[in-house]
Structures are given as C-alpha cells and as structure tokens.
Amino acid sequence: MHKHSKIYIAGHKGMVGAAIWRNLEKKGYQQLIGVSRQELDLKNQTEVSRFFAQEKPSVVIDAAAKVGGILANNNHPYPFLMDNLVIQNNLIESSLEAGVEKFIFLGSSCIYPKMAEQPLREEALLTGSLEPTNQWYALAKIAGVKACEAIRKQYQKDYVSLMPTNLYGPFDNFDLETSHVLPAMIRKFHEAKEAGDQPVKLWGSGTPLREFLHVDDMAEAVCFAIETTFSENLYNVGTGEDLTIRALAELIQKITGHRGDIIWDSSKPDGTPRKLMDVSKMTQAGWKASIGLEDGIKSTYQWFLENQATFKEVKI
C-alpha cells in the first residue's frame, strides 16, 4: 500500500478510529479521509453510497460502531443489534460497489461463544451460545465477519476482520453508566481518592480473568493489516496475557494513588469466567503487542486527568 493511497476511517473520532488516524499520520500516510456524523449518516445507505462514489477510497477501516458495557448492552438490545448491522452493511456494500481494494472490519472478542475453550481461537466462532448480556452486539459483529468472508470467497477481495480483546486508552468512554470495566475503574478510584479515599464498590467477586490491549497497539495492528496481505479472513488481536479483575483493581488503585478500601459486591454478576485471546495467528503473521498493561494504564490515567472537563460521555 502506497503512502498516498486514499484511506477512509469510519469512526475516526472514536477511541479506536482516532488512534488509527494518529498512527497512520505518524507513518506518513497523506490521504486520510474522515467525516463527522453531521456530514455523513452511516445509517443512510444512499448517503454512504454517494460518499464512496465521490471519494473512491482504496482502503476502508470500519471503526464505527455503537459500543458499551454490560449494562448498556443489556438495557438497549435493539440499537446494539440494528444500528451496528445497518452501519457495517452500508460500509461493506458501498466498498464492494466502489471497488475498494482493502476493507478492514473491526469487531470484538464477544463474537465467540461464552463457554468456548480458552484461549479463544478463531475457529471457535459459531460453535456455541453467546454471552446473553451482549449477544446483540456480538450477533451484529458476527454478521460483519461473515459478510467480509463471503466477499473474499466470491470476489477474491482483500477483506479481513480483526477481533480485538478489551481495548482501553486515550479518548476512552469514562461514563459510569456505559463504560467498560477498566475506564470505569479509573474514574471510580480517582473520584474516591479526591473525596478523601472513600471506599470503592465494584461488581462481582473479582475472580474473572480478562485481557486488555492498549488502543495504540490496536492501531499498530490495523496499520500492519493495511501493509500485509493476510492468508485468512479472521484474526484475533490481543496480548495473549490476562489477569483477574481483582488484580486489575489493585493495579489501578496503586496508579491513581487511592488508599481506601475496595468492596466487592458479590450479589452482582461476574460475567464470563475468562476471556483470553489466542493470538498465535497474528503472531505468525508478524505482529505482536508492545505496550505493557501498567504503562498503558498510567498513560491513560494521565490523559483522563488532563481531559476530565471534556472526556467522552456516551449517551444511548
């Protein structure tokens, strides 16, 4: 891929899209395309088709999605299913119509069955039932993976799906109603510290194991995918390492400087016992994560401190 190739990043203002934009810009890519929701409604098929016909991008990165944690997914199943289906279908179909050379579809580890063998391998897709609380989002992403696979099979196009583990980093969502566990903990521990080291109450037992990938590493993986021709359609992106939620809480407590108690509310659900990605396919292809968890959380907390007045609050 040439540095002057036109690359359209759908969702370029979100945490992942913004990280990809920064990464590509730093690497010297000169024709990056990003449009706001006000300029282009990705749920409007006619608008999206017209945009592709005008811009004629060579590469499309689908980082646009309605995202949220367990609470948001569970309470708003319809938009998490339908909005994501409509957005990705419009992008994939318009890319095929416009002759886009390379399409990179970004999903989530939640596409795999709840009780799939650990670590999660790409071959586990559609072999069992999904986690009920976020099945709506997962179903939409599975449809996107399969659409890209179908295009590869039928049209021999370079359409690939990357499934990241839990992402975090600058421009994350710190809204306690809709955020994921790591940014929610950063905010809870920080605010408890500011309030005189008040106790922090967290859901569950703290025993589930989770894996976390810094968004800048994810952006590196996307850039690697742009510059690489993959032999398969689906690749996991992660660190290949996990830790308990309790250990994560203690690490964030240390980084934020909170000295109060941590109270575990065992009446609240733990979710899936473990979610670790098998990243051997990506490793064999030549890419590996490089940002350690402690360093990544430190830099994310610093970003949080510098942007408290303006950080993103997601509203359903």
What are the residue numbers of the active site? 137
13 labelled binding-site residue = yes
Residue 107 is labelled as binding a ligand: yes
- Residue 180 is labelled as binding a ligand: yes
Residue 125 is labelled as binding a ligand: no
106 among the known binding-site residues? Answer: yes
Was 12 annotated as part of a binding site? yes
- For residue 203, say whether it is annotated as part of any ligand binding site: yes
- Any known ligand binding at 258? no
* 165 annotated ligand-binding residue: yes
Report whether 109 belongs to an annotated binding site: yes
Does 141 show up as a binding residue in the annotation? yes
253 in Cβ contact with 198 (< 8 Å): no
Please indicate if the annotation marks 254 as binding a ligand: no
Instruction: Say whether 44 counts as a known binding-site residue.
Output: no
Residue with tokens 């309030």: 195
Q: What is the CA radius of gyration of the chain?
A: 19
In terms of residues, how long is the chain? 316
To the question of whether residue 11 is assigned a binding role by annotation, the answer is yes
| Binding-site residues for NADP(+) | 11-17, 106-109, 141, 164-167, 180
| Binding-site residues | 11-17, 106-109, 141, 164-167, 180, 188, 203, 210, 270
| Binding-site residues for substrate | 188, 203, 210, 270
